[in-house]
Structure 1
Amino acid sequence: MKFKVVSPNVESSGNSGTDPQAQIEQMLSGSPVFLFMKGTPESPQCGFSSKVAEILKAWEVPYQSFNVLSDENIRQGVKDFANWQTIPQLYINKEFVGGSDVVEEMSNNGELGDLLKEAFPGRNITPPPPPVEVQEVAALEAASILKENSEIRLLDVRTQHERETASLDNSVLLDQELVEEILGSWDQNAPLMFFCHVGERSRQAAQYFTSQGFQQVYNISDGIKGWSSNVDSSIPQY
């Protein structure tokens, strides 16, 4: 049985005289799964916090969270509480699990699922499907794909300065505003194609969007440099 994801961001008491350790204990008692993070699940303030929130979302489990940026005493307190100096920190059944890399590894190898089953006995906890693979295509093949499918969105992950030096027709700059728009309102079946100078930055961007659930994602493996060499020599090299 699937159930709704609930992730309210808990507030601290705001009383500077309250023992942070007691506050943390109280928070952990309020939910089987608890995440101390920077920001909120809906608006994370660092990539590592975002990663753990997305992992929990993929597992479809209810959890509570606390934004450590809102209370410096709690921010330092959780580091002392777990003897772990970085944020985010995930707890299950009041036991410290780990930070971003640990949670990701445990999600991939199934250990996180075992802990979640213990936290929610009787619930049907099923692992999320693995993200689709990024389709790596050289510039010449990418040009052919774009010609055949006009619905593909061509996304440039370079800087504005680089775009002024050389650009591809019908491409748009992938800035933060567009990232938020894509994640918030675009159909995850919409085909996306990423490029940069030589394919490395765009590969990272493409992998990020597959991790967010997008199903048709391409990366131009040799970038705009390969496009200039093999598709359109009028595009400046730099």
Structure 2
Amino acid sequence: MQQLQPQELAAWLADDTRPRPVLLDVREGWEVAHCAFPGIVHIPMNDIPARQQELDPDSPTVVICHHGMRSYQVAMFLERNGFEQMINLSGGVAGWADEVDGSFPRY
């Protein structure tokens, strides 16, 4: 599994020459309601085992949570289940707010 820093994700999302990754947000609904990237796929961590068939195992997927721990666990789980391009956003949305977009809501 790859680790991606917030600045690296920002550069990837800004690069029109690269295919956009799937942004899989595994936080709880109340967290996503507070702040989220546009265009996410939202599947809470506890629902991943039952809903993993909703994801494309061949698409590059950046897994997102608050600080990067839940997303790491989900990415590891999906990788063990045949998903080959799993990427963890190190630092999560908190890291994004600290390092990329200071106006991104914090909690």
> What's the TM-score once normalised by structure 1's chain length?
0.40
Map of 1:144 onto structure 2: 11
Cα deviation for residue 164 of structure 1 reads: 1.0
2:78 equivalent among 204, 209, 228: 209
Map of 2:58 onto structure 1: 189
Cα deviation for residue 207 of structure 1 reads: 0.7
Map of 1:172 onto structure 2: 41
Specify every segment of 5 or more residues in structure 2 that has no aligned partner in the other structure, as ranges.
Answer: none
Partners of 2:68 and 2:34 in 1: CA distance = 17
1:232 equivalent among 93, 101, 107: 101
Give the secondary-structure state (helix, strand or coil) at the position aligned to 2:83.
Answer: coil
Deviations along 1:12-31, one digit per CA (max 9) or x if unpaired, are: xxxxxxxxxxxxxxxxxxxx
> What's the TM-score once normalised by structure 2's chain length?
0.84
Map of 2:92 onto structure 1: 223
Deviations along 1:176-199, one digit per CA (max 9) or x if unpaired, are: 3642322xxx2x321111010000
Structure 1 letter corresponding to 2:53: E
Map of 1:75 onto structure 2: none
Deviations along 1:143-184, one digit per CA (max 9) or x if unpaired, are: 2123333331001000000011111122121143642322xx
Partners of 1:217 and 1:227 in 2: CA distance = 19
Identity across matched positions, percent: 33
Give the secondary-structure state (helix, strand or coil) at the position aligned to 1:198.
Answer: coil
Map of 1:115 onto structure 2: none
Report the aligned-residue RMSD. Answer: 1.6
Partners of 2:19 and 2:64 in 1: CA distance = 17
Partners of 1:178 and 1:164 in 2: CA distance = 20
Structure 1 letter corresponding to 2:101: D
* 1:163 maps onto 2:32 in alignment: yes
Contact 2:60 2:85 in 1 (8 A): yes
Partners of 2:10 and 2:66 in 1: CA distance = 16
Higher relative contact order (CA 8 A, sep 6+): 2
Partners of 2:14 and 2:86 in 1: CA distance = 16
Structure 1 letter corresponding to 2:31: E
How many pairs align? 101
Give the secondary-structure state (helix, strand or coil) at the position aligned to 2:79.
Answer: helix
Structure 2 letter corresponding to 1:198: H
Give the secondary-structure state (helix, strand or coil) at the position aligned to 2:88.
Answer: strand
Give the secondary-structure state (helix, strand or coil) at the position aligned to 2:77.
Answer: helix
Specify every segment of 5 or more residues in structure 1 that has no aligned partner in the other structure, as ranges.
Answer: 1-133
